[in-house]
């Protein structure tokens, strides 16, 4: 009787379900593997012109990844500042943050990139001429800096709302309890509110990264030699639009699928740590 009682498993315990969920294979990895295999087949088995295209646009892949990662880090920082501004009790700060979010979200990203690459340098040169500042009169925009600036300010507006929604989802009693323990507002946000909000906003933040990765192709319009622009340059040399954009589309697909799987792993880890 004793041994049977000890080995009996309470059906209400979630142990088995938790283990099954922990070991469950993410079928999305099959898409990543399938897309990668197709890319290898095109390059190594089909060969020309896919292998030539891959070699030509490889540096564009590196630029795309670099621009996306650097921009996303800046977006996380600026978005947090914007969210704190939106939640500020000071009317002026809250108003500035609100205007920033509403204006930026109302203008297409491509138009914003054109502004920072073409219009902003013109403003700087005009001011330099008016103030007789040599450095400003001869200002020439760096396409990579302007592209990252444009992407950051655009996506930070959306990230501001993601942060704000996550912070507001935390019960107000959490902040009140932290303040009653002697914490300052920023200490309470750092140690109490934001760690909890991070679990809530992780899925939309991951989606923002994936969308940013795809929208980074727009920087090709402002002289940044990313994956899309390198494909256009290859087309100018060898007019094979079907082969070129099939290869480019497949490369973007692999990067976005892989990013989605990484985000899914992070979400699963956060759920297990709760």
The sign one gets for the Cα dihedral 208, 214, 215, 220 is: positive
Point out the least confidently predicted range of 206-220, 235-249, 256-270.
256-270
Assigned CATH topology for domain 26-269: MetI-like fold (1.10.3720)
Instruction: Encode pLDDT of 207-239 as tens digits.
Output: 999 999 999 999 999 999 999 999 999 999 999
Question: If you write DSSP's letter for every residue of 21-48 in order, what string do you get?
Answer: HHH---THHHHHHHHHHHHHIIIIII-T
* Dist CA 26 CA 53 (whole Å): 32
Inform me whether the pLDDT recorded for 9 exceeds 70: no
How many residues are recorded in the chain? 274
Nearest to 202 by CA among 155, 270, 101, 272: 270
In degrees rounded to 5, what are phi and psi of residue 239?
-70, 85
Per cent of the chain over pLDDT 70 is 91
Q: Which of 21-25, 79-83, 261-265 has the highest mean pLDDT?
A: 79-83
Spatial CA neighbour of 54 closest among 66, 41, 67: 41
For residues 183 and 197, what is the distance between their CA atoms, to the nearest angstrom?
A: 18
Determine the pLDDT at residue 274: 61
Which pLDDT belongs to residue 17? Answer: 45
State yes or no: pLDDT of 186 exceeds 60. Answer: yes
The answer to whether 117 and 146 have CB atoms below 8 angstroms apart is yes
Residue given tokens 């138009």 in the structure block: 111
pLDDT mean over 108-115: 97
For residue 188, the Cα-to-chain-centroid distance in whole angstroms is 26
Looking at the chain, the whole-number percentage of residues with pLDDT higher than 90 is 69
Could you tell me which residue, 96 or 174, shows the higher pLDDT?
Answer: 96
Cα separation, 88 vs 194, in Å, equals 15
Q: Rounded to an integer, what distance in angstroms lies between the CA atom of residue 15 and that of residue 258? A: 30
CA neighbor of 265 nearest in space, from 74, 25, 64: 25
Q: Tell me: pLDDT of 28 over 90.
A: no
- Mean per-residue pLDDT over the chain, rounded: 89
Residue ranges covered by each domain of the chain: 26-269
Q: What is the DSSP string of 91-160?
A: HHHHHHHHHHHHHHHTS-HHHHHHIIIIIHHHHHHHHHHHHT-HHHHT----HHHHHHHHHHHHHHHHHH
Per residue in 134-176, pLDDT (tens digit) is 889 999 999 999 999 999 999 999 999 999 999 999 888 888 8
Q: What is residue 6's predicted lDDT score, i.e. its pLDDT? A: 47
Alpha-carbon gap, residue 72 to 160, rounded angstroms? 13
Contact 147, 224 (CB under 8 A): yes
Q: What is the rounded CA–CA span in Å between residue 93 and residue 102?
A: 14
pLDDT score at 273: 64
């Amino acid at each position: 009787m004793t041994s049977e009682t000890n080995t009996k498993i309470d059906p209400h315990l979630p142990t088995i379900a938790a283990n099954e969920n922990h070991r469950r294979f993410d079928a999305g990895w099959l898409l990543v593997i399938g897309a990668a295999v197709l890319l290898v087949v095109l390059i190594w088995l089909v060969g020309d012109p896919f292998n030539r295209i891959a070699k030509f646009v490889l540096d564009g892949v590196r630029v795309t990844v670099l621009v996306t990662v650097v921009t996303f880090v800046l977006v996380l920082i600026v978005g947090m500042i914007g969210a704190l501004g939106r939640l500020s009790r000071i009317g002026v700060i809250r108003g500035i943050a609100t205007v920033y979010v509403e204006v930026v979200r109302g203008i297409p990203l491509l138009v914003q990139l054109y502004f920072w690459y073409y219009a902003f340098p013109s403003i700087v040169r005009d001011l330099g001429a008016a103030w007789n500042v040599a450095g400003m009169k001869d200002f020439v925009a760096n396409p990579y800096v302007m592209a990252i600036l444009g992407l950051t300010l655009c996506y930070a507006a959306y990230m501001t709302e993601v942060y704000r929604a996550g912070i507001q989802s935390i019960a107000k009693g959490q902040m009140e309890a932290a303040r009653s323990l002697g914490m300052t507002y920023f200490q309470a946000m750092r140690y109490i509110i934001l760690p909890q909000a991070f679990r809530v906003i992780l899925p939309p933040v991951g989606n923002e990264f994936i969308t940013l990765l795809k929208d980074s192709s727009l920087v090709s319009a402002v002289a940044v030699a990313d994956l899309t622009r390198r494909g256009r340059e290859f087309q100018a040399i060898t007019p094979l639009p079907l082969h070129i954009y099939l290869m480019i589309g497949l490369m973007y697909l692999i990067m976005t699928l892989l990013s989605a799987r990484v985000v899914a792993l992070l979400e699963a880890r956060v759920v297990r740590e709760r």
